[in-house]
Amino acid sequence: MNRKILVTGGGGLLGSALKARCPEASYVTSRDFDLRRFDETEKMFHDMKPTHVIHLAANVGGVKKNAEENATLFSDNVMINANVLDLAARKGVKRLISILSSCCFQIYADRPSTEDDLHAGLPFAGNLGYGYAKRMLDIQSKLISEQFKLQFSTITPATMMGPHDNWDLESGHVVAAIIHRAFIAKQKNEPLTVWGSGNAVRQFIFSDDVARLLVSELDQFRGPENMIVTADEGITIRELVLMIAELMKFDGKIIFDKSKPEGQLKRVLKSNSFKQRYPDFHFTSMRNSLKSTIDWFLENHKTARMMKVSL
């Protein structure tokens, strides 16, 4: 049987990176189908007839959006995931990989969270809706894999960055939002204002690294268990901002606005299985990842995607 790959959420950060790595796949976005609706999701599977699915579609956002739209993010993502996985199972899709988020995890002060902690406790209150919807996606993948003997699984990458991100100043991810703010501050000769104290610790990964991994995972199945993917132990937002400022040649004043939300003080994950599965996998360095992301934005800022909602 010929393999036919479908990628949902194909217009986003990771979907765009996948297009270079997996050009033979079909990529759909919210402009093609509203996956919150069962009938439109059913039409997608009828039209595309995939044998393999990489499920990226989600309603996502940054710290501000996660906190202010908790209920909406929960309901939208539960509907999207339930529709996609249910219909994929009904249609006999052989292999389906879904993307989770570090927002799923309860974070511990004394150690990184691992795959064993995915369903322990509660996610951080500021992203509870999005995080718990992603937990349910993992549960549904396991149940379908067991009941229907299909190869459904999930992976959890660290916070991604790269070209084709959502560059909205309020709803975008942290790296994209900071790069955009630094660009504006440099143009206007104004201070760069960053939300929070700068002390929060986060892990980041280049979108192309995750795309490479997903292409490899399509042909492998070791069971439905989740796998965390992260390049390092993380850096502080202050260190991140200083590196971005250096790469963008921004030498103005940097202000950390403690009145603005910054989420959890430390969110760090560690995989129990990644090194055993991929002992020779080489991640793009933080500096090179940022440089590629910044270079793309500087070349494309006039047409770059800036969305309040990304499905």
Going along the chain from its start, the domains and CATH numbers come out as 5-165+204-232+269-285 (3.40.50.720)
Which positions are catalytic?
Answer: 130
CB-based contact 282:243 (threshold 8 Å):
no
Residue 308: its pLDDT value, please? 52
Residues in the chain: 311
| Residue 269 DSSP code | B
Show the low-confidence residues of the chain (pLDDT under 70): 1, 306-311
Averaged pLDDT score across all residues of the chain: 93
Q: Determine the pLDDT at residue 307.
A: 59
Among 25, 75, 23, which residue's Cα sits nearest to residue 55?
25
The model's pTM: 0.92
pLDDT score of 310: 41
What gap in Å lies between CA 5 and CA 272, rounded to an integer? 29
Question: Given this model, what pLDDT does residue 107 score?
Answer: 87
Report the DSSP pairing between strands 235-236 and 201-202. Answer: antiparallel
